[in-house]
Amino acid sequence: MSCIKEEMFSKACKYAINAMIYVASLPEGMQRAGLKEISKAIDSPEAFTAKILQQLVRVELLSSAKGPHGGFAIQGDPNTITIAQVVAAIDGDMIFTGCALGLKKCSEDHPCPVHHKFKAIREHLTGMLLTSNLKEIAEGVNDGKSFLKY
């Protein structure tokens, strides 16, 4: 026993978010990146990343193409795809709806001891994720203001 972790999102989810941002940051016209390119850009394990990209394709956040010049592209409008959607696709919605202390159901009627305090945080987080769209975030990366690795 001895844990030195527990962060907000799973690794799978972090890779997913980073991958989506990377693909969204690709220059117009040439916006299709292969697995190798993506996992290199976000410094993630290639094979594991492949599984995550597959999931994102299944939920139609990404489109994919096989063969030479194949790869992954954002499916839909980067302006309207939110980080919340990516998180929900990979980690599910427990982070948006679950009880902080593990009660089966988070509710006002049968609240856990930190429900009221925690609810505010959760709403803050949810609001942030829902209003963060890929386009805007990818611009920060393109402008050199933020980074996808290290």
Partner DNA sequence: TTAAATAAAGACAAAAATATCCTTTAATAT
Partner DNA sequence: ATATTAAAGGATATTTTTGTCTTTATTTAA
Partner whose binding site includes residue 141, from ligand FES, its own copies, DNA, none (CB under 5 to 8 Å by kind): its own copies
DSSP 27-42: PSS---B-HHHHHHHT
48 is a site residue for DNA (CB under 7 A): yes
Burial of 76-89, coded b for 16+ CB within 10 Å and e otherwise, reads eebeebbbbbbbbb
Instruction: Quote the crossing angle between the two packed helices 115-131 and 83-91, to the nearest 10°.
Output: 120
- Closer to DNA at the Cβ: 12 or 125? 12
Partner whose binding site includes residue 72, from ligand FES, DNA, its own copies, none (CB under 5 to 8 Å by kind): DNA
- Can you tell me the distance from the alpha carbon of 121 to that of 124, in angstroms, rounded to the nearest whole number? 5
Considering only 101, 121, 128, 130, the residue that binds ligand FES (CB under 6 A) is 101
Selected range binding DNA among 64-72, 112-120, 123-131, 132-140, rule: CB under 7 A: 64-72
Where along the sequence are the contacts to ligand FES (CB under 6 A)? 99-101, 103, 106, 111-112, 115, 118
